[in-house]
Structure 1
């Protein structure tokens, strides 16, 4: 739990007695703040009950400009999600054009790295500059990145433009939740988060399923061009309808008080960690670099935590130290990271599973995700309905959602080349339903631990941990599949006989780069051996994901046990 206003003021008073003054603030001024904080805290406690009762009777239609605001927000979150997956099925085509197949997946990862690294900045910066201008900025940067991607002349320039696009995409995704936390009553937020998750899921699935189709019909550059007019519309709507939050609770929050040094430490640490993590999965020679970079990122994280834990800077931290304190809060952040890991690992593995086991094309494999994805929306609406009935239902919704995700990931292990399409849809449904339940439950269980004026920074804190888990999920699954395939295929090909060590090595390396090589260039028992190795590697990655999901569920049960012994933990 965060510090109460009185406790924070008492600590400031103690500091004043030791230092006498700081920046013109005297002991008398701090005592005045202590009395004011105590009165504020009492007023909050007195109004809490009546506010909760009143929220249920408040009509969301009374929110000024609601349709325009939500149109801008939901278009933005659709675009941010669409762009995060549109290259997952189109990157082989793009990489072939630039003759860099082994670097193709970095087209997607370069976007995800900056999304993850910059999400945490938007909370504090929108507290300073206001939601409207930060959302407008995010839309403009996203638009510039898309235009750059559509005219990129080399792989390196495409990586750069994808990273720039990710800076904007981070704001589109994060500020949607933050703006709604400003204007939507607490009891109604589950409903709005459910609608938000629908657009996020539609964006993820549309990107994954349409990327290959757009490449085949129009060329890969149109994967970015088609987003431009929609982004322009979202930008105009955001500028016209989204207003700044009530700034009275952010008194004194000026630009000079933003924690630039802490922001730099955190963003650099994240970028170093995530880049090195993925680089080490691509190149054997990069393993040493990856380990060194991870050590460096750990050092930067430690420096950041030490920096924000010392309450002497009087700066607005992008991740307030209060959002990292307490066993219950740490468990929620851990669960968020693990849930993000499971989600993106699942999305990464499935298209490969469909191509190898079922024999789908890349486009058809993407389309297979569309029908089950609708159940993410069903789960989100169930979550919203349950929260609208009683916010305390969050206690049940989180472990229930993760348990369903665990069941769904286990059922996905049953998919094989003889599995009919209707049964594949059925087996994929539980995971999507569970994600629709647990994602908003995680968000609100965390955010509701803090006062209203910390909802923006607490939202970005949770999104940060979830995004880190997502990038780790893609990288870890890719690493498991690559390494298991390499070991298993090498052994299988050697056992066939008739192939030299050099031929075995060439076949394995080419198989790692492209499924088209396996399907079109290999024949007979060699092709069978490689495809069986692929299946074995995919199953290994699926099992690993199941284990991670089980750990996430265990974390939630540990938190439930803590809640029984600590009544202060509400959700």
Structure 2
């Protein structure tokens, strides 16, 4: 028997293949994969994180140009809220899909949808087409972020998870930092369409990397398609889309179209939103076998306060990303590229805050005091922003967003660790999905409410400042095509810019209140031990040395 086996191994049999068969890679334990493989996996998913962040600030910096080209300035908010609507509603699905179809196919699905939507935006012939493109891109954008975080939790031990999340946030910060100035420069030099189309080659590279590198398996894969599809929470997903979508439409008709609160479309959509919210809670509590939002997580102390903190701070910070460029482009009459450049300090602070938070959690084994201290920083930024005017020194304009970026990044890292350290490993993916659901829900409602507040105060201020023959036509033109302000007489330009300044100041004040709410939520968190931290390792070494000293 042995001799036959030896004879079968002739010169045509590769020895390397034999060795690999004897020592196969354990694809069921991603943390057992070779370090080089794990690093390539992380690199492949972080490309998607970079591009998702890049796209967000690209759109924020060119939204005014897009809206003006279609003469639909009052619909500019939908470029942000449309994307965030589908991001918020589809993100929790990816937490489940990552368990059902595997990390690889969940990553490919999210990136493919994002690529398709971005391409659609680049070739859009109308504002409606463009908004649809943003909706499709949002279906994948949130998934790229959520699945990347899940994959990182798979391949990295919890003790190093904070530092890894910090590195991931650097990719996010660099992407967000480049998006504003690069998008503005491309729009000024070529057109806003090029800002979308130039992303396509990078997205295709990311698809190839993920296809070849993210190949490990997780429990739940390998089952029948019928069983996998049956595990998806369709009722919860549809009711969440209905709740958020109805809310956005109600706010849009009230403020963008100028309808009264008593108008059937306004109160009708508000009513349908309330009904959908009730149906969503009922679906998650009683119908869904694997809900996109397990209410049991919200019953836990960390689950509740992490959710409140993520929602409130995302509400505030994402409004800043969308409306701060508007301040510089409209109120200060800067170019799109110059306005976008003012987001760079925020992104630099985001990267530094991520690394700092990850390093602190890794070395101290604690996240509570980190979150309590850094959670106050975004409040400082928004208070400064409410005080900016034409007499403010340029250096203050540049540094005003630094506390917000640093604090936001710290909370992104720390709250994720606070939640996943408080649950079983089997709930890790859905817990990660919960944090992203709250972030994106906060973002979509934040941008929508900020847009509604801006339009309401802008309309009131313009009617108060601009009167006389042709006033209504001028006001309508200012609201719909912000670039037309430059064509007005100097006196009317001053009044128009002052009206925008007044409305943007109110937006920043509202967001200061939401940032304060997020900070208060950090005080309610409970500290859980993080296995493998430097603090725990030192305590273990001391415990081992004590018996030796007693024996001596």
TM-score scaled by structure 1? 0.80
For 2:392 and 2:401, locate their aligned partners in 1 and report how far apart those are by CA, in whole Å: 12
For 1:546 and 1:75, locate their aligned partners in 2 and report how far apart those are by CA, in whole Å: 32
For 1:279 and 1:241, locate their aligned partners in 2 and report how far apart those are by CA, in whole Å: 46
User: In the alignment, which of 330, 337, 341 is matched to residue 315 of structure 2?
Assistant: 341
Going from structure 1 to structure 2, the CA distance change for 1:279 and 1:442 (only over 3 Å counts) comes to farther
For 2:217 and 2:152, locate their aligned partners in 1 and report how far apart those are by CA, in whole Å: 10
What aligned pairs does 1:38-77 form with structure 2 within 5 A after superposition? 62-77=34-49
Going from structure 1 to structure 2, the CA distance change for 1:232 and 1:445 (only over 3 Å counts) comes to same
Going from structure 1 to structure 2, the CA distance change for 1:188 and 1:251 (only over 3 Å counts) comes to farther
| Alignment size in residue pairs | 498
**Equivalent residue for 1:262?**
236
Going from structure 1 to structure 2, the CA distance change for 1:148 and 1:299 (only over 3 Å counts) comes to same
Regions of 4+ moved over 6 Å = 248-253, 567-570
User: In the alignment, which of 104, 108, 117 is matched to residue 132 of structure 1?
Assistant: 104
User: In the alignment, which of 266, 271, 279 is matched to residue 303 of structure 1?
Assistant: 279
**Equivalent residue for 2:245?**
271
Instruction: Tell me, yes or no, if structure 1 residue 551 matches structure 2 residue 517.
Output: yes
Instruction: Tell me, yes or no, if structure 1 residue 86 matches structure 2 residue 58.
Output: yes
Any conservation in 1 of the 2:186–2:192 contact (CA below 8 Å)? yes
1:185 Cα offset (Å): 0.8
1:64 Cα offset (Å): 4.9
**Equivalent residue for 1:161?**
133
Deviates more, 1:452-461 or 1:206-215: 206-215
For 1:371 and 1:308, locate their aligned partners in 2 and report how far apart those are by CA, in whole Å: 40
Deviation by residue 1:132-176 (Cα, 9 ceiling, x = unmatched): 111112222222222222222232222222211211212111111
1:60 Cα offset (Å): 10
User: In the alignment, which of 133, 156, 162 is matched to residue 184 of structure 1?
Assistant: 156
Going from structure 1 to structure 2, the CA distance change for 1:275 and 1:446 (only over 3 Å counts) comes to farther
1:343 Cα offset (Å): 0.5
Going from structure 1 to structure 2, the CA distance change for 1:444 and 1:453 (only over 3 Å counts) comes to same
Instruction: Tell me, yes or no, if structure 1 residue 442 matches structure 2 residue 442.
Output: no
Deviation by residue 1:361-418 (Cα, 9 ceiling, x = unmatched): 2220111221342011111111001110133x21112222220111122122343323
Going from structure 1 to structure 2, the CA distance change for 1:204 and 1:475 (only over 3 Å counts) comes to same
User: In the alignment, which of 358, 380, 390 is matched to residue 364 of structure 2?
Assistant: 390
**Equivalent residue for 1:324?**
298
Any conservation in 1 of the 2:149–2:165 contact (CA below 8 Å)? yes
Instruction: Tell me, yes or no, if structure 1 residue 521 matches structure 2 residue 485.
Output: no
| Aligned CA-pair RMSD | 2.8
Report the secondary structure of 2:275's partner residue: helix
Any conservation in 1 of the 2:52–2:144 contact (CA below 8 Å)? yes
Report the secondary structure of 1:285's partner residue: coil
Instruction: Tell me, yes or no, if structure 1 residue 123 matches structure 2 residue 95.
Output: yes
In structure 2, stretches of 5+ residues that fail to align are: 1-30, 532-552
Instruction: Tell me, yes or no, if structure 1 residue 408 matches structure 2 residue 385.
Output: no
| Higher relative contact order structure (alpha carbons within 8 Å, sequence separation ≥ 6) | 2
1:130 Cα offset (Å): 0.4
Deviation by residue 1:417-454 (Cα, 9 ceiling, x = unmatched): 23343332233211111112112112222222211111
Any conservation in 2 of the 1:72–1:238 contact (CA below 8 Å)? yes
Going from structure 1 to structure 2, the CA distance change for 1:116 and 1:388 (only over 3 Å counts) comes to same
What aligned pairs does 1:190-201 form with structure 2 within 5 A after superposition? 190-201=162-173
Going from structure 1 to structure 2, the CA distance change for 1:493 and 1:139 (only over 3 Å counts) comes to closer
1:198 Cα offset (Å): 1.6
Any conservation in 1 of the 2:315–2:443 contact (CA below 8 Å)? yes
User: In the alignment, which of 481, 499, 506 is matched to residue 473 of structure 2?
Assistant: 506
For 1:160 and 1:353, locate their aligned partners in 2 and report how far apart those are by CA, in whole Å: 26
Instruction: Tell me, yes or no, if structure 1 residue 355 matches structure 2 residue 329.
Output: yes
For 1:274 and 1:222, locate their aligned partners in 2 and report how far apart those are by CA, in whole Å: 28
1:226 Cα offset (Å): 0.7
For 2:162 and 2:513, locate their aligned partners in 1 and report how far apart those are by CA, in whole Å: 29
**Equivalent residue for 1:234?**
206
Going from structure 1 to structure 2, the CA distance change for 1:333 and 1:186 (only over 3 Å counts) comes to same
**Equivalent residue for 1:292?**
268
Going from structure 1 to structure 2, the CA distance change for 1:280 and 1:116 (only over 3 Å counts) comes to farther
1:65 Cα offset (Å): 0.9
For 2:529 and 2:402, locate their aligned partners in 1 and report how far apart those are by CA, in whole Å: 36
Instruction: Tell me, yes or no, if structure 1 residue 534 matches structure 2 residue 508.
Output: no
Going from structure 1 to structure 2, the CA distance change for 1:435 and 1:102 (only over 3 Å counts) comes to same
For 1:540 and 1:99, locate their aligned partners in 2 and report how far apart those are by CA, in whole Å: 25
In structure 1, stretches of 5+ residues that fail to align are: 1-58
Any conservation in 1 of the 2:150–2:429 contact (CA below 8 Å)? yes
Report the secondary structure of 2:293's partner residue: coil
For 1:207 and 1:463, locate their aligned partners in 2 and report how far apart those are by CA, in whole Å: 21
For 2:188 and 2:115, locate their aligned partners in 1 and report how far apart those are by CA, in whole Å: 24
Going from structure 1 to structure 2, the CA distance change for 1:213 and 1:527 (only over 3 Å counts) comes to same
Going from structure 1 to structure 2, the CA distance change for 1:450 and 1:107 (only over 3 Å counts) comes to same
Any conservation in 1 of the 2:101–2:221 contact (CA below 8 Å)? no
For 2:272 and 2:67, locate their aligned partners in 1 and report how far apart those are by CA, in whole Å: 31
For 2:446 and 2:214, locate their aligned partners in 1 and report how far apart those are by CA, in whole Å: 34
